[in-house]
Structure 1
Amino acid sequence: MNVITTAFMVMILLSSCKEIKTKSNETETTATNTLVDSTDKWSVRMANSIMHRNEHAYEIDHRTVPKWDYVHGVVMLGFEKLYEKTNDQKYYDYIKDYADTLINEEGAIATYKIEDYNIDMINAGKILFKLYDHTNDSRYRNAMDTLRLQLTDQPRTKSGGFWHKKRYPNQMWLDGLYMGAPFYAQYTVNFEQGKALDDIAHQFELIEKHAKDEKTGLLFHGWDESKAMDWADDKTGTSPNFWSRSLGWYAMALVDVLDYFPQDHPGRAQIIGYLKELATAVVKVQDETGLWYQVTDMGDREGNFLEASGSTMLVYALAKGVNKGYLPEHFMKNAELGFKGLTEELIKVDKDGLITITQVCAVAGLGGNPYRDGSYEYYINERKKDNDPKATGPFIMAALELDK
């Protein structure tokens, strides 16, 4: 081999090494410059994915204009818990931006109509307590007072249960216990020396008495005291099926409201008992993946599907129930299995590290127009939506409880 040939081979070799090194550096840059770091905990990854997709919190759920809504409330509550865990200011700022966008200088809440007596609208008020504590800004207190006034005047069944909405007379839905009860409890403990705790315990007593199926221990989605609705059973007034998200809302209501019941209040032991009974019932119908089906007890029926929002909520409630000492330790295995199912079956991660939660029922209810009859066919045919806030918010909370 002559000198020229040798020199030419060396140049090729150096060029190849440089190319390999450049490609390697490009790969390293791609890995480290992803939008969401895959080495972070799941709670952080979900929150950062939400923030990347939505510059402002009011944009969650594909909103283009601000709206006071329960779905924003459940996500912002997840952010509040994440801020408490991480002390990362951006999560607090995201919550405050939502509140400040909707609440004016006098404390009036934009888009909120007290005359609708929609108990869903109470839920977003849960984020105002910490904002008020941090800032002492009277706007937040005024907004909370308005929501409390709604509960004062909220129409009730003859037996004393809050109607779900003014346009749904005489009806209690499991969803409504989550929307109203924890806010009601926190408000009465913070500002009223706990005078309404008996009333709050009564809401749970009524739903347990009238919506629970004694055979399975599960609770039906809704109860119509008047039995006037077509979906209501002629004898019991209950809707015909179990819906996992409604059970998830109710389970979260139980574990969250207990934060405000003192040890010596009789309602505390009663509510813990309800939680134990519900936990026992839901783990019996938990799928081998750890998830729960849209129609909770009919996993073997055609068309049923493993649903994300109900699963995230139940995982959160089970994990928090154990962490707080309300539930026996063995339920943590069910929570762990459920979270494993979520991350392995329903979570997708894109090239930028953004995570998507799939198989979320977008919405479901009873009655209304078009009419929703609560049948099996109705629930399984409701549309699904990726990254629906009714799954993303509880996912953050579940991840935090499990420290995942």
Structure 2
Amino acid sequence: MKKLSLFVYSGLGIFTICFLFLCCKPIEKTKKTIASQKEQLISNKLKWSERMALSIMKRHPKAWQIDDHEAPKWDYKIGMILTAYEKLYAKTANQKYFDYIKGYADTLIDSTGAFQNFNPQDHNIDFINAGKILFGLYNKTKEQKYFTALKTLRRQFDDYPRTPSGGFWHKKIYPNQMWLDGLYMGEPFYARYTAEFEKGEKLNDVAHQFELLHDHAMDKKTGLYFHAWDESKKMPWANKETGTAPHIWLRALGWYGMALVDVLDYFPKDHPKRKELVVYLNELAVGVSKYQDVSGLWYQVPNLQSRKGNYLEASGSAMLVYAIAKGVHKGYLPANFKKVATKGLDGLIKKLIKVDADGEIHITQVCASAGLGGNPYRDGSFEYYMSEKIKVDNSHGLGAFLLAAIELDK
């Protein structure tokens, strides 16, 4: 009987130990999971800019992965996003924002300063845009490779193909065409480089690019700008009398506005072309304000709001918010335009930003891409702009929202 009791007690003891062991493991695991979840939560007490920045980093631990790229690529859209991270780093001094930028550059630029997969004869103005992050990297680290890469991009302008009037072609494959997009891709970099390393000797050339599109692409009826201008007037999409594209495209207006406020950072107050660029910005602000929807947003084709299929588009709306807000803050625009910008950001947040349970945020209704000509051929018709894919978290929208949210600091 004693032996049996001992056996029973021993068995119970072993059972208890095993039970506790098995129970404790999941408890321990659950604690770790809860801790991990807390680390991944993005607080709604943060400003919208940081909430978006952290959301992007959560989805894409390395910047080159944005837009679900399968391999690293020097990309104008990622360049725009990382210029916003530069602004965030300046505001917060959070090292992870700087490291995110540096990690991208170091993946695409080798120790000698050479770019991965770069052919200078391609003459693609889009390639210039991401180069803006190299100024800050060089200033902070003094690593020669960043300066070498800066000089490589600056040399692109020396033999870049131009229209007869002196405007940079959008790309080698688009002869004699200037697109509004190209002003943002090339001019802020060109202006900063010449201001910092060449005593501003090329600022007149920078201003000339804006003058050409102001003179040839502006629609006098609306005060807005057509997407592009073909100086040769030979493209099938071009108006045979004016050379302009058939329609006004919202994101092109956004690129133009952002290009203006960003190049003005590098024009001294006494530069003869500065006032002219400020006038252009004021004209744009007046023009787009007329077409702002009650929601605060703008339509994909902004002057045809009621046409069937048209929709409120995120990236172009955010770009205009940034351009107008910065214009007010810098004193280029009257203070009353702040209402236009604030209404725009509020509209983005209320209508187009979605928040997950873990605090991660997403931007919806972003036009994936749009252009003119090419293969397959894009005719610039209203139907064409409506046919392009509409995406969630497309990089155009991410970068533009970041810039707008940082500028308004909401």
TM normalised by structure 2 equals: 0.91
Deviation, structure 1 residue 112: 2.4
- Classify the secondary structure of the residue corresponding to 1:121: helix
Match of 2:96 in 1: 90
AA in 1 matched with 2:351: E
Match of 1:211 in 2: 217
Deviation, structure 1 residue 35: 2.4
TM-superposition CA deviations, 1:319-361 (whole Å, max 9, x none) = 0000000000111000000000000000000111110000000
Match of 2:351 in 1: 345
What are the residue-to-residue correspondences of 1:347-362 with 2, within 5 Å?
A: 347-362=353-368
Work out whether residues 297 and 348 of structure 2, in 8 Å CA contact, stay in contact via their aligned partners in 1: yes
Would you say 1:100 and 2:109 are equivalent positions? no
What are the residue-to-residue correspondences of 1:223-372 with 2, within 5 Å?
A: 223-372=229-378
Match of 2:57 in 1: 51
Would you say 1:140 and 2:146 are equivalent positions? yes
Would you say 1:383 and 2:389 are equivalent positions? yes
Would you say 1:149 and 2:155 are equivalent positions? yes
What are the residue-to-residue correspondences of 1:157-176 with 2, within 5 Å?
A: 157-176=163-182
* 60-69 or 233-242, larger mean C-alpha shift: 60-69
What are the residue-to-residue correspondences of 1:384-403 with 2, within 5 Å?
A: 384-403=390-409
Runs of 4 or more, structure 1, over 4 Å off, are: 28-34
Work out whether residues 291 and 342 of structure 1, in 8 Å CA contact, stay in contact via their aligned partners in 2: yes
AA in 2 matched with 1:312: A
Work out whether residues 73 and 125 of structure 1, in 8 Å CA contact, stay in contact via their aligned partners in 2: yes
Deviation, structure 1 residue 30: 10
The CA distance in 2 between the partners of 1:322 and 1:209, in whole Å, is: 24
Deviation, structure 1 residue 38: 1.1
The CA distance in 1 between the partners of 2:263 and 2:39, in whole Å, is: 41
Match of 1:22 in 2: none
TM-superposition CA deviations, 1:28-81 (whole Å, max 9, x none) = 989955521111000000000000000100001111211001011000001001
* 307-316 or 28-37, larger mean C-alpha shift: 28-37
Match of 2:194 in 1: 188
The CA distance in 1 between the partners of 2:221 and 2:153, in whole Å, is: 37
Match of 1:79 in 2: 85
- Classify the secondary structure of the residue corresponding to 1:61: helix
- Classify the secondary structure of the residue corresponding to 2:219: coil
The CA distance in 2 between the partners of 1:190 and 1:216, in whole Å, is: 37
Match of 1:5 in 2: none
TM normalised by structure 1 equals: 0.92
The CA distance in 1 between the partners of 2:79 and 2:129, in whole Å, is: 6
TM-superposition CA deviations, 1:108-155 (whole Å, max 9, x none) = 111222211000110000000010000111101111111111111110
Provide closer, same or farther for how the CA distance between residues 33 and 132 of structure 1 changes in structure 2, counting only shifts above 3 A.
closer
The CA distance in 2 between the partners of 1:31 and 1:330, in whole Å, is: 43
The CA distance in 1 between the partners of 2:52 and 2:389, in whole Å, is: 22
The CA distance in 1 between the partners of 2:186 and 2:356, in whole Å, is: 36
AA in 1 matched with 2:47: K
Work out whether residues 76 and 127 of structure 1, in 8 Å CA contact, stay in contact via their aligned partners in 2: yes
Superposition RMSD in Å: 1.3
The CA distance in 2 between the partners of 1:63 and 1:400, in whole Å, is: 26
Work out whether residues 173 and 222 of structure 1, in 8 Å CA contact, stay in contact via their aligned partners in 2: yes
The CA distance in 2 between the partners of 1:32 and 1:332, in whole Å, is: 37
AA in 1 matched with 2:272: P
Deviation, structure 1 residue 389: 1.1
The CA distance in 1 between the partners of 2:158 and 2:244, in whole Å, is: 26
Deviation, structure 1 residue 170: 0.1
The CA distance in 2 between the partners of 1:64 and 1:360, in whole Å, is: 21
The CA distance in 1 between the partners of 2:160 and 2:74, in whole Å, is: 18
- Classify the secondary structure of the residue corresponding to 1:68: coil
Gaps of 5+ in 2: 1-30
Deviation, structure 1 residue 260: 0.1
Work out whether residues 222 and 303 of structure 2, in 8 Å CA contact, stay in contact via their aligned partners in 1: no
What are the residue-to-residue correspondences of 1:58-69 with 2, within 5 Å?
A: 58-69=64-75
- Classify the secondary structure of the residue corresponding to 1:282: helix
The CA distance in 2 between the partners of 1:220 and 1:398, in whole Å, is: 23
The CA distance in 2 between the partners of 1:31 and 1:167, in whole Å, is: 49
The CA distance in 1 between the partners of 2:38 and 2:47, in whole Å, is: 16
